């Protein structure tokens, strides 16, 4: 009897795990043969490849196709290879693809994922409506005093590792960005620069560390979303630590703006305006007009926004700035040009790394853009079809509601169809008169359209200030253990990392 039940269970599981696998075949879309339950995503479920790595592999396997089919578990997804279709998804028909679909279950969402990055539908629209003001130009200018102070501290700790055989610049820049975000977001000196083992640096590391528990829970939620809807993607200690951090700051300010003009203050100011009210992106009245919806700005919602500001803010910026240092180490001719510009600009600003000074560093900006082309901090974009059916007119393909589409940014950035010698680091492809030749919707380090990164400008200025601080006084060069093409971290989910970090040798500059 037990044997019969076991056979029935195995057969049932097989049919459940293969029930959707004719989806792309019926539509004439090329794809790899899926395996039961895991689809074509086995390597990611086993933490042998990140989502970005899987998207890049799929993109490169079918060079003649505009789109390629994929199965994440039993869910059909579509990898997009054509810039015109990308434009349609991100801008032209955005109303049909406004969701990211990063929450495996649409109705049961864990508290910290109710943030501007992970939220979908009306939650996203209302949060974005209210929180976009936090990243307006005048708000970024409010962080001007922090640039010089954090840059000076970064130079001090860089001095401590000068002439060592090697030092991981990924960790160096992560300590800097964690410290910067601590001040800008929470008004707290997190001591990440002076204390390598600070509580906040440990929290930052844990957010993007992919443990066995995290891998299993993530895979189960994708493969069995209904059964695992109450299982959290984030580890309990992350949620607990973020709640304590935000609650402590709020209590210290008596739940009122303190005048620090940091992210917590801005959120408190927004909360004083009351509920967030706006037109629904999902629900309509009988006459076809959007329904009016609202969202309560409670402590938990504020904590969720602080979580994504803290986590994504330091991780993406530290990846971008450290990879720029890595490329400049392997290309000393460009490093010299960057350093000469930094010296010239800072001489006009009393050698202080200010917001205005960083804005003048155009060659540094070119080098930063080029490093973001070669290794974007977020290597893919994910969108989900939000209408019952959608047809891509370019290829006469119709997909159903909830089917996700993936835009493999990293693969597109390295495609020789769009970038000459794509594996060669060349900042001057972003110079005036040349950058205009880059085709639309093939350079997407910050996304594009209504769901592009709201903190892009702040992140870029933070990264460039850190680069200027290091390169003004020091030079970087490959260490004996440095890899010109560092190995991508296979456990990455949203942001990309490197196996073993980015070890470089740092030396004092000898100015002539």
Over residues 406-441, the pLDDT tens digits come to 999 999 999 999 999 999 999 999 998 888 889 999
Confidence category of residue 208, pLDDT binned at 50, 70, 90? low
Give the per-residue pLDDT at 193.
43
Range scoring the smallest mean pLDDT among 41-45, 247-251, 493-497: 493-497
Left (φ > 0), alpha (ψ -120 to 50) or beta: where does 396 sit? Answer: left
Domain membership of residue 440 as a residue range: 2-508
> What average pLDDT does range 325-339 have in this prediction?
98
pLDDT at residue 139 tops 60: no
Give the per-residue pLDDT at 220.
67
Please state, in angstroms and rounded to a whole number, the distance separating the CA atoms of residues 175 and 157: 10
What's the CATH number where 322 sits?
1.10.630.10
pLDDT at residue 11 tops 80: no
pLDDT at residue 89 tops 90: yes
pTM equals 0.88
Instruction: Tell me the per-residue pLDDT of 96-135, one tens digit each, with 9 for 90 and over.
Output: 999 998 876 566 678 888 888 888 989 999 988 887 766 6
> What average pLDDT does range 221-248 have in this prediction?
75
Give the per-residue pLDDT at 140.
52
Top mean pLDDT of 234-243, 260-269, 448-457, 502-511 is at 502-511
Share of the chain above pLDDT 70, in %: 87
> What average pLDDT does range 322-334 have in this prediction?
98
Share of the chain above pLDDT 90, in %: 51
Please state, in angstroms and rounded to a whole number, the distance separating the CA atoms of residues 36 and 183: 48
Q: Evaluate whether 100 touches 120 at the Cβ level (below 8 Å).
A: yes
Please state, in angstroms and rounded to a whole number, the distance separating the CA atoms of residues 471 and 467: 6
Give the per-residue pLDDT at 419.
96
Average pLDDT over the chain reads 87
Instruction: Tell me the per-residue pLDDT of 29-49, one tens digit each, with 9 for 90 and over.
Output: 999 999 999 999 999 988 899
pLDDT at residue 354 tops 60: yes
pLDDT at residue 196 tops 60: no
Instruction: Tell me the per-residue pLDDT of 280-305, one tens digit each, with 9 for 90 and over.
Output: 988 889 988 889 999 988 888 888 88
Please state, in angstroms and rounded to a whole number, the distance separating the CA atoms of residues 75 and 223: 8
Please state, in angstroms and rounded to a whole number, the distance separating the CA atoms of residues 71 and 223: 11
Top mean pLDDT of 63-77, 148-162, 240-254, 449-463 is at 63-77
Q: Evaluate whether 159 touches 469 at the Cβ level (below 8 Å).
A: no
Burial letters 369-395, b for 16+ CB under 10 A, else e? bbbbbbbbbbbbbbbbbbeeebebeee
Top mean pLDDT of 110-124, 135-149, 326-340 is at 326-340
Give the per-residue pLDDT at 109.
78
C-alpha distances (whole Å) from 125 to each of 173, 264, 282, 285, 414 are 32, 20, 10, 18, 32
pLDDT at residue 72 tops 90: yes
Give the per-residue pLDDT at 202.
66
Q: Evaluate whether 72 touches 55 at the Cβ level (below 8 Å).
A: no
Count of domains forming the chain: 1
Residue 453 assigned to a binding site: yes
pLDDT at residue 490 tops 50: yes
> What average pLDDT does range 487-492 have in this prediction?
88
Q: Is 466 helix (H, G, I), strand (E, B) or coil?
A: helix
pLDDT at residue 266 tops 90: no
Residue 454, Cα to own-chain centre: how many angstroms?
A: 11
pLDDT at residue 360 tops 60: yes
Nearest residue to 28 (alpha-carbon basis) of 332, 397, 461, 278: 397
> What average pLDDT does range 335-344 have in this prediction?
97
Give the per-residue pLDDT at 107.
66
């Amino acid at each position: 009897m037990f044997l019969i039940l076991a056979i029935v269970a195995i057969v049932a599981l097989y049919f459940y795990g293969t029930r959707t696998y004719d989806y792309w075949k019926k539509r004439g879309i090329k794809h790899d043969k899926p395996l039961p339950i895991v689809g074509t995503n086995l390597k990611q479920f086993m933490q042998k490849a990140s989502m970005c790595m899987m998207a890049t592999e799929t993109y490169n396997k079918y060079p003649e196709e505009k789109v390629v089919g994929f199965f994440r578990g039993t869910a059909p997804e579509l990898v997009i290879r054509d810039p015109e279709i990308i434009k349609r998804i991100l801008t032209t028909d955005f109303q049909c693809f406004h969701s990211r679909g990063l929450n495996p279950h649409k109705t049961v969402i864990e508290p910290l994922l109710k943030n501007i990055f992970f939220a979908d539908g009306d939650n996203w629209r209302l949060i974005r409506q209210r929180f976009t003001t936090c990243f307006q130009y005048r708000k970024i200018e409010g962080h001007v005093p922090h640039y010089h102070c954090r840059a000076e501290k970064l130079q001090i700790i860089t001095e401590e590792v000068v002439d060592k055989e090697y030092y991981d610049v990924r960790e160096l820049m992560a300590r800097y960005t964690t410290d910067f975000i601590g001040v800008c977001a929470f008004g707290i000196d997190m001591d990440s620069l002076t204390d390598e083992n600070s509580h906040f640096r440990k929290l930052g590391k844990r957010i993007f560390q992919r443990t066995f528990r995290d891998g299993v829970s993530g895979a189960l939620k994708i493969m069995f979303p209904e059964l695992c809807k109450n299982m959290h993607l984030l580890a309990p200690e992350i949620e607990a630590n973020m709640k304590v951090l935000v609650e402590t700051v709020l209590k210290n300010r008596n739940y009122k703006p303190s005048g620090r003009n940091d992210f917590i203050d801005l959120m408190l100011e927004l909360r004083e305006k009351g509920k967030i009210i706006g037109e629904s992106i999902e629900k309509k009245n009988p006459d076809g007009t959007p329904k009016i919806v609202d969202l309560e700005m409670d402590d938990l919602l504020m904590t969720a926004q602080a979580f994504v500001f803290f986590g994504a803010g330091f991780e993406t910026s530290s990846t971008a700035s450290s990879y720029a240092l890595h490329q400049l180490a392997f290309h000393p001719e460009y490093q010299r040009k960057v350093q000469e510009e930094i010296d010239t600009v800072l001489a006009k600003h009393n050698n202080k790394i200010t917001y205005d000074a960083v804005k003048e560093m155009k060659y540094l900006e070119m080098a930063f853009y080029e490093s973001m082309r070669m290794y974007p901090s977020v290597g893919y974009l994910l969108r989900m079809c939000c209408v019952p059916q959608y047809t891509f007119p370019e290829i006469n393909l119709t997909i159903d509601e909830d089917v996700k589409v993936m835009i493999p940014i990293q693969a597109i950035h390295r495609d020789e169809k769009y970038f000459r010698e794509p594996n060669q680091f060349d900042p001057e492809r972003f110079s005036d008169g040349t950058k205009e030749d880059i085709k639309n919707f093939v350079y997407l380090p910050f996304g594009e359209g209504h769901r592009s990164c709201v903190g892009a400008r702040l992140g870029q200025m933070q990264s460039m200030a850190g680069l200027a601080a290091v390169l003004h006084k020091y030079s970087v060069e490959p260490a004996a253990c440095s890899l010109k093409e560092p190995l991508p971290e296979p456990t990455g989910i949203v942001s990309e990392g490197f196996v073993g970090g980015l070890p470089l040798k740092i030396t004092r500059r000898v100015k002539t």
